[in-house]
């Protein structure tokens, strides 16, 4: 059965429209200064060339020489504010930390549900072919793109304020989200001209980790939503913004499940309404990226919607399978939750609740946030099935020398029975290590 629900996607570009645009723009271009063949010849955009590092450095040890990427991103973002390219002033949105143990953040952002266009959105297919007739990021105006983001060819960080757009190499770019959630809200669009569907691969996730690492600011996070987990555009992209408080999910306790190849540690999130995995460490960003992307590819291939949060300057990645859209389509979500119009994507799941109605903001509570996110999460049984599926796909098994949880972690036993053998489905007898198969 094909599940369809009425979707009201957020407008991310000023050129996102209802109608299908006419094909074949004239020789002088479409008049919109877009990122397609009609306007690209001779186009130039700033280029930030980052240095590929061999080792992973945590954000508390990393000391960027002068935080150039951050100053560039925010400087260009502020320039677009002055040029009136955003649909509203996000700095005027009310924000508060909700009282309670978790510190959920609530924001009243009424602008994100105005002037939207209804559309049919399939929630039963995580992988869907790219459709050039629908809105995609080649249709944005070049003024919405802040800079190109590419690896340096000589291993040194470099900035070119006016670099030609190399169509053949399909540059990765950073663009504004014209309906921002927070200050500095941008989109990272890998290999924009290849028109890739919303599907994580090894190269794209590694690029996202490099951007987080290069920013070197623990308050700068990147997020990813798969189709079926509230991605609204089927063109490969990550989102990112600054929020100067910890996300609740970042503070949640974890329990180590196993050591993965390349020094990556995989843990399970505890005492949090959404079940998920955390990937940390690795001898290089590529080691960490491979572990996460292999897991994402497994979820995609098995049609399991998911969200990803890149945290701690690229050294910590949360992988969160979810089922809210499916429940929504099947009529299993309460009218009370549906009335909030909140689509729990990566930011909401991480604890930043973007609310669209004043009454929800004024009545925001930890219980309400927990109630919504609990609907997002897979059941304990289903989550362990998914973990086993991932570990089988990446040739990873639970080790016998799992670390002993501390007293706080023990508290979760009464709630989720996480120590009652629920991990047994992920154990393969006779193996004690993780092996990567490429």
Residues whose CB falls within 8 Å of the CB of residue 114, separated by 6 or more in sequence, listed in order = 87
Rounded distance between C-alpha atoms, residue 154 and residue 287, angstroms = 22
Rounded distance between C-alpha atoms, residue 319 and residue 209, angstroms = 14
* Number of other CB atoms surrounding residue 335 within 10 Å: 7
- Indicate the pairing of strand 316-321 with strand 306-311: antiparallel
* Number of other CB atoms surrounding residue 416 within 10 Å: 15
> 309 vs 33, 233, 252, 344, 346, CA distance in Å?
32, 18, 14, 13, 7
Q: Which of 113, 106, 97, 108 is nearest to 372 (CA)?
A: 106
Q: What is the spatial order of strands in the sheet that 306-311 belongs to?
A: 158-164, 44-50, 145-151, 173-176, 186-189, 238-242, 220-225, 306-311, 316-321, 277-281, 264-269, 254-260
Choose, from 237, 352, 423, 438, the residue flagged as catalytic. Answer: 237
Task: Pull the structure tokens for residue 412.
Answer: 């979760």
237 is catalytic: yes
Rounded distance between C-alpha atoms, residue 156 and residue 14, angstroms = 35
Rounded distance between C-alpha atoms, residue 376 and residue 249, angstroms = 14
Residues designated catalytic: 237
């Amino acid at each position: 059965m094909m599940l369809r629900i009425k979707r009201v996607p957020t407008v991310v570009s000023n050129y996102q429209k209802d109608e299908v645009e006419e094909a074949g723009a004239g020789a002088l271009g479409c008049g919109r200064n877009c990122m397609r063949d009609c306007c690209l010849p001779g186009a130039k955009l700033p280029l930030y060339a980052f240095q590929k590092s061999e080792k992973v450095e945590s954000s508390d040890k990393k000391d960027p020489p002068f935080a150039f990427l951050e100053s560039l991103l925010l400087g260009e973002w502020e320039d677009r504010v002055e040029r009136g390219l955003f649909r509203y002033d996000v700095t005027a949105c009310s924000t508060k930390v909700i009282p309670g143990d978790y510190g959920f953040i609530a924001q009243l952002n009424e602008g994100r549900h105005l002037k939207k266009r209804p559309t049919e959105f399939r929630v039963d297919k995580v992988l869907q072919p790219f459709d050039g007739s629908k809105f995609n990021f080649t249709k944005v105006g070049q003024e919405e793109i802040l800079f190109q983001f590419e690896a340096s060819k000589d291993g040194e960080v470099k900035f070119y304020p006016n670099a030609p757009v190399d169509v053949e190499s399909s540059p990765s770019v950073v663009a504004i989200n014209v309906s921002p959630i927070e200050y500095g809200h941008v989109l990272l669009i890998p290999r924009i001209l290849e028109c890739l569907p919303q599907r994580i691969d090894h190269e794209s996730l590694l690029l996202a980790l490099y951007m987080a690492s290069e920013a070197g600011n623990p308050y700068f996070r990147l997020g990813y939503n798969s189709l079926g987990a509230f991605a609204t555009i089927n063109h490969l992209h990550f989102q990112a913004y600054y929020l100067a408080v910890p996300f609740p999910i970042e503070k949640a306790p974890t329990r180590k499940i196993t050591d993965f190849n390349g020094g990556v540690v995989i843990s399970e999130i505890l005492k949090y309404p959404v079940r998920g995995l955390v990937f940390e460490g690795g001898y290089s960003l590529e080691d960490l990226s491979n572990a996460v992307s292999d897991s994402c590819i497994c979820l995609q291939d098995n049609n399991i919607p998911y969200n990803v949060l890149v945290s701690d300057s690229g050294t910590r990645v949360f992988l969160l399978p979810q089922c809210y859209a499916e429940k929504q389509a099947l009529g299993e979500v309460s009218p009370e939750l549906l009335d909030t119009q909140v689509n729990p994507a990566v930011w909401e799941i991480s604890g930043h609740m973007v609310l669209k109605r004043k009454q929800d903001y004024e009545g925001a509570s930890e219980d309400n946030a927990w109630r919504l996110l609990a609907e997002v999460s897979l059941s304990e049984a289903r989550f362990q099935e998914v973990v086993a599926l991932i570990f089988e796909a990446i040739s990873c098994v639970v080790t016998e020398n799992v670390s002993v949880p501390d007293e706080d972690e023990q508290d979760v036993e009464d709630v989720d029975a996480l120590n009652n053998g629920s991990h047994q489905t992920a154990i393969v007898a006779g193996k004690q290590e993780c092996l990567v198969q490429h």
